[in-house]
């Protein structure tokens, strides 16, 4: 019987395309695994109890809260974090570009969770209504923007018009 | 806000999982999607010594329709249920409850079995299972078993599952004929646990009388509830003669232990409960009448 | 010599902060990792008030990975000085021990600090620290604390931290007696909080060999953190370096270091390794502070035509156990600004700051916001009673431009504001008349829609003490590229982009050729940081003054080279040219190379290099800004749900440096205000237990809860550089009154008045039930209908059943149209706060934390 304090579990997780092996204590959350073991600090912890959405990542393509998944539960999975959304050369994804073009972020702390959630949401709802967008965003909390810029950004990204109203880049 | 330490087990099959649970007894918790359990671990409101992870138990996942029931594996995610044409066709009440659970990120991980085993009185799935007289399937070293939903929810976050029993699946009866279904709830914000909610199923006969009906309530007691008196009063009546507000009043007339907290008193929950029952009743009847 | 016309100021320039933040490459304090770093966790009091009889850390110290457990005896004696530059050394500051000493004074009070290898282990060990408490009777309710037998702090009789007052109310008696109507209500606001998405935190690294301390902080003011830390530890200021890159929201919570920060600073010198503390969300909601918890006994005297004759407010605020910083002075602003942007001939005020055994009060976006809530709610109530449309009543009283400058009756010297213009613009954007028609039709169909407004004037850029000046250093590098150094402290206010825009304009260079370095006290000039709606205006001044020095130098060099007069040189597109001779340009890179590498070729008297520092000191101590918020809503009278339909803000923050940033600040503030009006409640039960310590119970608005916000801009320049005014706080001031007034307007046919927040569904249905029950239904009357509930013949009129004998003290004088304002004791089981502490009496200490977390 494993000792709760000493147990280390071997996991293999593919993170942003890179296969990683580690031995982790079973209580380590996926969020802490990504931040502390992988050095991927874009996954932010805003509540650690599954409400704020700042830690959202993709597991096998599905948007999930990384604070509500244990690292051991991600064994064998493909994980995409916010660091894996832009192109390797730094070019912003359409969702990221839309957030920039529409002032969809201010302090930027909640932003990774929104970017990841919206990326998954728009993949599954390529032609959303405004109502669907609001519902789709309602699992991510933002305290700076009042959601106005975010709603515009998602609309623009959905319409494929991410680069619309830009007077100066 | 980090979980306390626990020992971790990841059995490869249901029988192995059940054997582990039997072996570890009260000190163990099964974890499926973990969308209720992990926050409780993080807050150290749950401090199990052992966690039995069901992620490798593939046989717990799946949806199939046979012999007038839709049988759903306990490990099936809410997202998979929400996408399932079989569920949409056979158990529309379950399909309609699904988008009301949390947010899509939660539904991607949260499971049917986890929701029933967690048995939150304000959650949607337990009320739907209760309304539809679902049968809950279990496995333990003693063998397989079934528990009627009516006997499953025994108290606040407690169920009839024995410590050695693994919830393996749920069988939902398929309603046929002129049927209508609706789920209505009222929450402070979308995605929050409802202050009050109702899951209503009705079937009309050829004379537009209520042949049968079921009203499940959530957020209105220490367990999900059936409004059996209101159901009995409506059954056999001509649908058009039934005042939905009366159904709502009857459904909430004799509630006991309605929760009271920061978000609403018992009295407010009860009044809102009557309103959501009435709204769900109207929608279900309209759908059945059009069917 | 001057820069060419602004290319960037006024434009919706994309933010320079965004690429790193959008891709997960920001640097928030929790992202800072140092070699050998240790992790801290606080042991916190589970009781609202208790005597500490003993602390046993034996078991915790023996636990895996534990390095130290500190108590008050270990840390508190090391404090050298602990005062805030913003407040000053000499105010009669309230107590603020790092760790609880002898007595705990709220649930969450830090009692001990555990240091371990990681946060998991630190939390394990914190559970093993045994604290022996002797429970004492808590004082959980500030509203009754002045009469309580027990004291939160023994040295403060009646639990009063301080009070202040204007002239005696009696002086206004003639005005109140002459009034046709006196609206007199006590408006109660619940506690809510800043709730930045990033909690508090810091990393402190002590180097004993060098005597240097390096601190990475989540802060709005790195230089204040440095000053405070140097005083706290008795270290010379230049031996302390504070760094911050990205801070995940502050809204006032991160303007000054709090007790936990003090503990980590003090402990860092006692452990082997850098020490990190990252607050978790439960700690944040339990102990990072509270705001807004207050009530105002307010009265406004109105003539029969709606003219305001006098106004007075008696304000009482909850300051919790350990307010940070000193709360008494800022409370005076509630009184000073109560007259708002209206023509108020006479006024007075008083305010009291009262301790309770709850989390300490701290700064929150528009800390004096209660003045607007009380005033605007009363004005609507007054309009209903007079049978005057509330818009018309405001029109008759709002200050006009030709009346400026105007000293409000408390001596506040308003200038450069446009309250009437913003008000009319907001009404026009709505089409107010059309809405009133729509409302009439909706009411006929049994639907309840309403409109509410709030017009306010706010002080921004108050140039005092810590905030008196702002500095900038601009380095035009040898290549001609530009680096601008300012203090920073952005927690989302886009000040990097602002600086780059302003500097590019001031130097006539492409924005891509400008970078800014902020948040590192080792290299940036001293500055006050992000607070008090000051960053835009003050930083514009600092950049402007500094750039002017460099422009002059560039012009001198270019003139010398081009054989022209310096005053004929113009900077644009990265070139210095003789005005009118476009082909004459010298690239800035060439001028920079001259300045650094060939100083012998510089004209006489021109210093070498292209680097300058400047410091801006505004001439005006305050810059006034103003706005009107307008909200429409629909209320479901069965469930009590409020749905916001339209939300309009017309504001005057002067010329906008970046409209995206301005609108973003407004929207963020508005949604915080909406949250405060409808959802958020940092509630305590009657024993002083916090019941909203998770995001399942502390309800922040989501994208599904907010309307689209529409903006109208009036641009009146303020005195000072660019004419810029502050805009950071106003959104949070205007929203609660606008929402409350909209809901009250929707429910006017029921004869209800709203005096208590938040407007939970239950409170709304309770108001309707209580208003309706004793007097029968009144669902059809209009507010301006003489037979309506508040008209002279209606049930609340002088001859109605609810006449001037109600419990709320509207005084009727002169026999004119006058009536009681319906009381609002509503809800059941004390849900309107009539017993216990606000609404929490029905909650039970468990709240729903016992499992209603996540799904």
**Position B9 pLDDT exceeds 50:** yes
Q: What CATH number does residue A117 fall under?
A: 1.10.150.120
**Position C829 pLDDT exceeds 90:** no
Task: Tell me the pLDDT band of C813, cut-offs 50, 70 and 90.
Answer: very low
The b/e string for C361-395 (b: 16+ C-beta within 10 A; e otherwise) is bbbbbbbbbbbbbbbbbbbbbbbbbbbbbbbebbe
Beta bridge partners of C206: C213
Q: What CATH number does residue C629 fall under?
A: 3.30.365.10
Looking at the fold, whether A75 and A129 belong to one and the same domain comes out as no
pLDDT (0 to 100) of residue B291: 87
Cα of A91 vs its chain's centroid, Å: 17
Looking at the fold, whether A16 and A53 belong to one and the same domain comes out as yes
Q: What is the pLDDT of residues C332-378, one digit of tens each?
A: 999 999 999 999 999 999 999 999 999 999 999 999 999 999 999 99
Looking at the fold, whether A16 and A79 belong to one and the same domain comes out as yes
CB within 8 Å of C568: residues ≥ 6 apart: C1, C559, C578, C579
Beta strands C103-104 and C50-56 are antiparallel
Question: Among A4-18, C499-513, C836-850, which is the least confidently predicted range?
Answer: C836-850
**Position C770 pLDDT exceeds 50:** yes
Q: Do B105 and A53 touch (CB under 8 A)?
A: yes
Backbone angles phi, psi at A116, to 5 degrees: -70, -45
Looking at the fold, whether C569 and C677 belong to one and the same domain comes out as no
Distance, CA of C467 to CA of C223 (rounded, Å): 11
- What is the average per-residue pLDDT within C227-244? 98
- What is the average per-residue pLDDT within C647-672? 98
Q: Which residue among A39, A151, A167 places its CB closest to the CB of C11? A: A167
The CATH 3.30.465.10 domain(s) of chain B lie at 58-173
Q: Is the dihedral of CA C164, C167, C171, C172 positive or negative?
A: negative
How open is the CA angle C678-A121-B31, to the nearest 5 degrees?
Answer: 85
pLDDT (0 to 100) of residue C5: 64
- What is the average per-residue pLDDT within C38-43? 98
**Position C810 pLDDT exceeds 60:** no
Report the mean per-residue pLDDT for chain C: 91
CB within 8 Å of B85: residues ≥ 6 apart: none
Residues C631/C647, Cβ–Cβ less than 8 Å: yes
Residue C86's closest CA among C245, C189, C219?
C219
Q: Does C157 map to a domain? A: no
Looking at the fold, whether C821 and C743 belong to one and the same domain comes out as yes
Domain B178-290 CATH superfamily:
CO dehydrogenase flavoprotein, C-terminal domain (3.30.390.50)
**Best residue of B113, B159, B262 to probe chain C, by most C CBs closer than 10 Å:** B262
Domain containing A73: what range? 9-83
Please count the residues of chain A: 169
DSSP B111: B
Q: Which residue of C has its CA nearest to B105?
A: C855
Looking at the fold, whether C454 and C483 belong to one and the same domain comes out as no
Q: Is the dihedral of CA B44, B50, B55, B57 positive or negative?
A: negative
Report the mean per-residue pLDDT for chain B: 97
The residue among C809 and C687 whose pLDDT is bigger is C687
Complex ipTM value: 0.97
Residue C656's closest CA among C584, C713, C701?
C713
**Best residue of A28, A142, A143, A156 to probe chain C, by most C CBs closer than 10 Å:** A143
pLDDT (0 to 100) of residue C819: 32
Residues C213/C205, Cβ–Cβ less than 8 Å: yes
Q: In which element (H, E) is residue C428 found?
A: helix C419-430
Residue C190's closest CA among C662, C837, C648?
C837
pLDDT (0 to 100) of residue C563: 94
Q: Do A139 and B8 touch (CB under 8 A)?
A: no
Q: Do A105 and C12 touch (CB under 8 A)?
A: no
Among candidate residues C616, C646, C674, the one where a domain is terminated: C616
Q: What is the pLDDT of residues C441-496, one digit of tens each?
A: 999 999 999 999 999 999 999 999 999 999 999 999 999 999 999 999 999 999 99
Q: Does A164 map to a domain? A: no
Q: Does A46 map to a domain? A: yes
Q: Mind telling me how many Å the CA of B207 is from chain A's nearest CA?
A: 38
Q: Do B262 and C853 touch (CB under 8 A)?
A: no
Q: Does A112 map to a domain? A: yes
**Best residue of C276, C851, C853 to probe chain B, by most B CBs closer than 10 Å:** C851
Residue C818's closest CA among C429, C411, C381?
C381
Among candidate residues A26, A50, A83, the one where a domain is terminated: A83
pLDDT (0 to 100) of residue A6: 86
Residue A107's closest CA among A151, A61, A142, A150?
A142
Q: Do A73 and B34 touch (CB under 8 A)?
A: yes
Q: In which element (H, E) is residue B216 found?
A: strand B210-218
**Position C853 pLDDT exceeds 50:** no
Q: What is the pLDDT of residues C571-622, one digit of tens each?
A: 999 999 999 998 889 999 999 999 999 999 999 999 999 999 999 999 999 9
Looking at the fold, whether A78 and A13 belong to one and the same domain comes out as yes
B109 touches chain C (CB under 8 A): no
**Position C788 pLDDT exceeds 70:** no
Looking at the fold, whether A98 and A77 belong to one and the same domain comes out as no
Q: Do C281 and B195 touch (CB under 8 A)?
A: no
For residue C298, give both structure tokens.
């307010």
For residue C325, give both structure tokens.
């910083």
Among 3.40.50.150, 1.10.10.10, 1.20.1250.20, 3.30.43.10, name the CATH number for the domain at B7-53.
3.30.43.10
Looking at the fold, whether C501 and C352 belong to one and the same domain comes out as no
Looking at the fold, whether A141 and A101 belong to one and the same domain comes out as yes
Q: Does C100 map to a domain? A: yes
Q: Does C155 map to a domain? A: no
The CATH 3.30.43.10 domain(s) of chain B lie at 7-53
Distance, CA of C273 to CA of C117 (rounded, Å): 10
Backbone angles phi, psi at C739, to 5 degrees: -70, -45
- How many cross-chain Cβ pairs, A to B, lie less than 8 Å apart? 97
Domain total of chain A: 2
For residue C261, give both structure tokens.
């920060």
The label of the residue with tokens 């309605």 reads B258
Among candidate residues C287, C306, C336, the one where a domain is terminated: C287
Q: Does C851 map to a domain? A: no
**Position A62 pLDDT exceeds 80:** yes
Domain total of chain C: 3
Q: Does C185 map to a domain? A: no
Q: What is the pLDDT of residues C376-404, one digit of tens each?
A: 999 999 999 999 999 999 999 999 999 99
Task: Tell me the pLDDT band of C4, cut-offs 50, 70 and 90.
Answer: low
Q: Does C456 map to a domain? A: yes
Q: Which residue of C has its CA nearest to B32?
A: C855
Q: Does A1 map to a domain? A: no
**Position C833 pLDDT exceeds 70:** no
**Position A169 pLDDT exceeds 50:** no
CB within 8 Å of B255: residues ≥ 6 apart: B217, B220, B221, B225, B270, B273
Q: What CATH number does residue A69 fall under?
A: 3.10.20.30
The b/e string for C675-692 (b: 16+ C-beta within 10 A; e otherwise) is bbbbbbbbbbbbbbbbbb
Looking at the fold, whether C427 and C560 belong to one and the same domain comes out as no
Q: Do A90 and C18 touch (CB under 8 A)?
A: no
DSSP letters of C7-65? SSTTS-BPPSSHHHHHTT----GGG---TT-EEEEEEE-SSSSEEEEEEE-HHHHHSTT
**Position C785 pLDDT exceeds 60:** no
Looking at the fold, whether C238 and C315 belong to one and the same domain comes out as no
Q: In which element (H, E) is residue C633 found?
A: strand C623-635
**Position C283 pLDDT exceeds 80:** yes
Task: Tell me the pLDDT band of C6, cut-offs 50, 70 and 90.
Answer: confident
Q: In which element (H, E) is residue C335 found?
A: helix C328-337
pLDDT (0 to 100) of residue C341: 98
**Position C784 pLDDT exceeds 60:** no
Residue B128's closest CA among B7, B215, B257?
B215
Looking at the fold, whether C71 and C115 belong to one and the same domain comes out as yes
pLDDT (0 to 100) of residue A3: 76
**Position C808 pLDDT exceeds 60:** no
Torsion of CA C733, C737, C742, C748, to 10 degrees: 180
Q: Does C384 map to a domain? A: yes
Task: Tell me the pLDDT band of C1, cut-offs 50, 70 and 90.
Answer: low
Question: Among B98-107, B233-242, C187-196, C778-787, which is the least confidently predicted range?
Answer: C778-787
**Position B54 pLDDT exceeds 60:** yes
**Position C541 pLDDT exceeds 90:** yes
DSSP C606: P
**Position C669 pLDDT exceeds 70:** yes
pLDDT (0 to 100) of residue A5: 77
Among candidate residues A83, A117, A135, the one where a domain is terminated: A83
Task: Tell me the pLDDT band of B211, cut-offs 50, 70 and 90.
Answer: very high
Please give, one letter per residue, the 3-state secondary structure of chain A: CCCCCCCCEEEEEEECCEEEEEEECCCCEHHHHHHHHCCCCCCCCCCCCCCCCCCEEEECCEEEEHHHCEHHHHCCCEEECHHHCCCCCCCCCHHHHHHHHCCCCCCCCCHHHHHHHHHHHHHHCCCCCHHHHHHHHCCCCCCCCCCHHHHHHHHHHHCCCCCCCCCEC
pLDDT (0 to 100) of residue C790: 37
Looking at the fold, whether C557 and C663 belong to one and the same domain comes out as no
Domain containing C109: what range? 32-136+198-248+254-287
Residues 58-117 of A with CB under 8 A from B: 59, 62-65, 67-70, 72-73, 75, 117
Q: What is the pLDDT of residues C87-121, one digit of tens each?
A: 999 999 999 999 999 999 999 999 999 999 999 99
**Best residue of A67, A106, A115 to probe chain C, by most C CBs closer than 10 Å:** A106
Q: Mind telling me how many Å the CA of C284 is from chain A's nearest CA?
A: 10
Residue C627's closest CA among C460, C446, C405?
C460
Q: Which residue of C has its CA nearest to B1?
A: C280
Task: Tell me the pLDDT band of C32, cut-offs 50, 70 and 90.
Answer: very high
The label of the residue with tokens 């709090």 reads C258
Among candidate residues C601, C616, C631, the one where a domain is terminated: C616
- What is the average per-residue pLDDT within B100-107? 97
Helix (H/G/I), strand (E/B), else coil: C762: helix
How open is the CA angle C603-C608-C611, to the nearest 5 degrees?
Answer: 125
B115 touches chain C (CB under 8 A): yes
CATH-assigned architecture of domain B58-173: 2-Layer Sandwich (3.30)
Looking at the fold, whether A31 and A59 belong to one and the same domain comes out as yes
What percent of chain C has pLDDT above 90?
Answer: 88
Cβ atoms < 10 Å from Cβ of C110: 23
**Position C804 pLDDT exceeds 60:** no
Q: Does C427 map to a domain? A: yes
Subunit partners of chain C (3 or more CB pairs within 8 A) = A, B
B4 touches chain C (CB under 8 A): yes
């Amino acid at each position: 019987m494993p000792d709760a304090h000493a147990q280390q579990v071997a996991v293999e997780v593919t993170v942003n395309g890179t296969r990683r092996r580690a031995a982790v204590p079973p209580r380590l959350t996926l969020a802490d695994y990504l931040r502390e073991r992988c050095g991927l600090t874009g996954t932010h912890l805003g509540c650690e109890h599954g409400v704020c959405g700042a830690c959202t990542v993709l597991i096998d393509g599905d948007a999930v809260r990384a604070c509500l998944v244990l690292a051991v539960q991600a064994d064998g999975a493909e994980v995409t974090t916010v660091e894996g959304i832009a192109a390797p050369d730094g070019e912003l994804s359409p969702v990221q570009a839309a957030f920039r073009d529409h002032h969809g972020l201010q302090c930027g702390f909640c932003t990774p969770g929104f970017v990841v959630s919206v990326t998954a949401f728009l993949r599954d709802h390529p032609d959303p209504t405004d109502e669907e967008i609001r519902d789709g965003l309602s699992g991510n909390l933002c305290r700076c923007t009042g959601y106005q810029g975010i709603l515009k950004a998602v609309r623009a990204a959905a319409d494929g018009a991410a680069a619309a109203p830009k007077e100066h880049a | 806000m980090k979980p306390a330490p626990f020992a971790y087990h990841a059995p490869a099959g249901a029988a192995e999982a059940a054997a582990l649970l039997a072996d570890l007894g009260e000190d163990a918790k099964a974890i499926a999607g973990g969308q209720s359990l992990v926050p409780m671990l993080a807050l150290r409101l749950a401090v199990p010594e052992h966690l039995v992870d069901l992620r490798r138990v593939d046989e717990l996942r799946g949806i199939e329709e046979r012999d007038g029931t839709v049988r759903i594996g306990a490990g099936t995610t809410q997202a998979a249920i929400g996408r399932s044409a079989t569920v949409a066709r056979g158990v529309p009440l379950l399909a309609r409850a699904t988008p009301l659970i949390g947010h899509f990120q939660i539904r991607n991980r949260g499971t049917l079995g986890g929701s029933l085993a967690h048995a939150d009185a304000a959650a949607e799935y337990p009320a739907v299972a209760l309304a539809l007289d679902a049968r809950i399937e279990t496995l333990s070293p003693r063998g397989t078993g079934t528990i009627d939903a009516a006997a499953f929810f025994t108290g606040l976050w407690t169920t009839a599952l024995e410590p050695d029993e693994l919830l393996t699946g749920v069988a939902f009866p398929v309603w046929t004929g002129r049927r209508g279904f609706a789920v209505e709830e009222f929450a402070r914000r979308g995605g929050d646990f409802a202050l009050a909610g109702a899951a209503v199923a009705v079937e009309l006969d050829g004379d537009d009388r209520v042949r049968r009906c079921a009203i499940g309530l959530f957020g209105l007691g220490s367990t999900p509830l059936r409004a059996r008196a209101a159901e009995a009063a409506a059954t056999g009546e001509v649908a058009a003669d039934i005042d939905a507000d009366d159904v709502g009043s009857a459904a909430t007339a004799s509630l006991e232990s309605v929760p009271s907290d920061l978000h609403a008193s018992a009295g407010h929950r009860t009044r809102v409960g009557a309103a959501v029952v009435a709204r769900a009743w109207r929608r279900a009847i309209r759908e059945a009448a059009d069917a | 010599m001057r820069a060419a016309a602004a290319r960037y100021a006024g434009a919706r320039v994309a933010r320079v902060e965004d690429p790193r933040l959008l891709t997960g490459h920001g640097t928030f304090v929790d992202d800072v990792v140092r070699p050998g770093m240790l992790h801290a966790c606080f042991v916190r009091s589970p009781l609202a008030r208790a005597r500490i009889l003993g602390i046993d850390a034996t078991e915790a110290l023996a636990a895996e990975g534990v390095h130290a457990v500190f108590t008050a005896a270990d840390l508190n004696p090391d404090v050298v000085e602990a005062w805030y530059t913003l407040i000053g050394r000499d105010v009669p500051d309230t107590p603020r021990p790092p760790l609880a000493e002898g007595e705990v004074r709220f649930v969450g009070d830090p009692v001990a600090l555990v240091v371990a290898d990681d946060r998991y282990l630190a939390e394990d060990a914190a559970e093993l620290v045994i604290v022996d408490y002797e429970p004492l009777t808590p004082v959980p309710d500030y509203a009754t604390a002045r009469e309580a037998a027990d004291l939160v702090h023994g040295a403060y009789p009646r639990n009063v931290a301080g009070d202040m007052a204007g002239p005696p109310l009696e002086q206004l008696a003639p005005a109140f007696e002459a009034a046709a109507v006196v609206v007199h209500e006590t408006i109660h606001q619940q506690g809510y909080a800043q709730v930045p998405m990033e909690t508090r935190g810091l990393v402190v690294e002590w180097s004993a060999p060098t005597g240097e301390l390096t601190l990475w902080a989540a802060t709005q003011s790195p230089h204040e953190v440095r000053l405070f830390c140097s005083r706290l530890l008795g270290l010379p200021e230049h031996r302390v370096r504070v760094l911050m890159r990205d801070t995940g929201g502050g809204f006032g919570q991160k303007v000054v270091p709090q007790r936990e920060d003090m503990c980590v600073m003090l402990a860092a010198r006692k452990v082997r390794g850098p020490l990190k503390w990252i607050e978790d969300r439960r700690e944040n909601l339990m102990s990072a502070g509270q705001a807004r918890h207050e009530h105002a006994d307010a009265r406004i005297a109105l003539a029969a035509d709606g003219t305001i004759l006098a106004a007075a407010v008696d304000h009482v605020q909850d300051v919790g156990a350990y307010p940070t910083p000193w709360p008494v002075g800022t409370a005076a602003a509630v009184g000073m600004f109560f007259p708002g942007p209206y023509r108020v001939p006479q006024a007075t005020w008083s305010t009291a700051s009262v301790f309770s055994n709850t989390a300490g009060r701290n700064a929150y976006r528009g800390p004096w916001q209660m003045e607007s809530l009380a005033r605007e709610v009363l004005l609507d109530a007054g309009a209903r009673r007079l049978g005057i449309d509330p818009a018309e009543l405001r029109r008759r009283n709002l200050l006009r431009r030709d009346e400026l400058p105007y000293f409000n009756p408390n001596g506040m010297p308003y200038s450069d504001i446009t309250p009437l213009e913003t008000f009319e613009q907001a009404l026009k954007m709505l089409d107010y008349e059309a809405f009133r028609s729509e409302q009439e039709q909706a009411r006929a169909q049994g639907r309840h829609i309403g409109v509410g407004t709030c017009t306010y004037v706010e002080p921004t850029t108050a140039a005092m003490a810590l905030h008196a000046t702002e500095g900038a250093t601009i380095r035009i590098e040898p290549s001609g590229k530009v680096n601008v150094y300012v203090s920073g402290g952005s927690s989302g206010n886009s000040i990097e982009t602002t600086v780059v825009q302003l500097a590019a304009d001031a130097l006539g260079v492409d924005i891509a050729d400008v970078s800014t370095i902020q948040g590192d006290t080792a290299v940036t000039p001293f500055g006050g940081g992000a607070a008090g709606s000051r960053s835009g205006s003050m930083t514009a001044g600092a950049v402007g003054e500094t750039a002017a020095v460099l422009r002059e130098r560039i012009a001198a060099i270019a003139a010398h080279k081009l054989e022209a007069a310096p005053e004929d040189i113009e900077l644009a597109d990265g070139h210095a040219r003789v005005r009118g001779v476009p082909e004459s340009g010298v690239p800035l890179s060439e001028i920079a190379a001259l300045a650094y590498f060939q100083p012998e070729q510089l004209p006489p008297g021109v210093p070498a290099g292209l680097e300058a520092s400047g410091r801006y000191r505004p001439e005006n101590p305050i810059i006034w800004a103003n706005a009107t918020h307008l909200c429409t809503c629909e209320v479901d009278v069965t469930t009590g749900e409020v749905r916001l339909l339209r939300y309009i803000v017309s504001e005057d923050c002067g010329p906008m440096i970046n409209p995206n940033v301005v609108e973003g600040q407004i929207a963020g503030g508005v949604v915080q205000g909406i949250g405060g009006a409808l959802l958020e409640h940092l509630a305590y039960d009657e024993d002083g237990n916090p019941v909203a310590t998770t995001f399942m119970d502390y309800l922040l608005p989501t994208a599904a809860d907010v309307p689209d916000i529409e903006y109208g801009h009036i641009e009146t320049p303020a005195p000072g550089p660019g004419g810029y005014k502050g805009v950071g706080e106003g959104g949070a001031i205007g929203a609660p009154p606008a929402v409350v007034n909209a809901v009250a307007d929707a429910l006017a046919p029921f004869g209800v008045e709203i005096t208590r927040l938040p407007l939970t569904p239950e409170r709304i249905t309770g108001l309707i039930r209580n208003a309706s029950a004793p007097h029968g239904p009144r669902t059809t009357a209009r507010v301006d209908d003489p037979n309506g509930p508040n008209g002279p013949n209606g049930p609340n009129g002088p001859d109605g059943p609810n006449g001037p004998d109600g419990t709320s003290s509207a005084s009727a004088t002169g026999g004119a149209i006058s009536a009681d304002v319906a009381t609002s004791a509503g809800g059941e089981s004390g849900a309107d706060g009539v017993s216990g502490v606000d609404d929490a009496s029905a909650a039970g200490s468990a709240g729903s934390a016992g499992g209603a977390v996540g799904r």
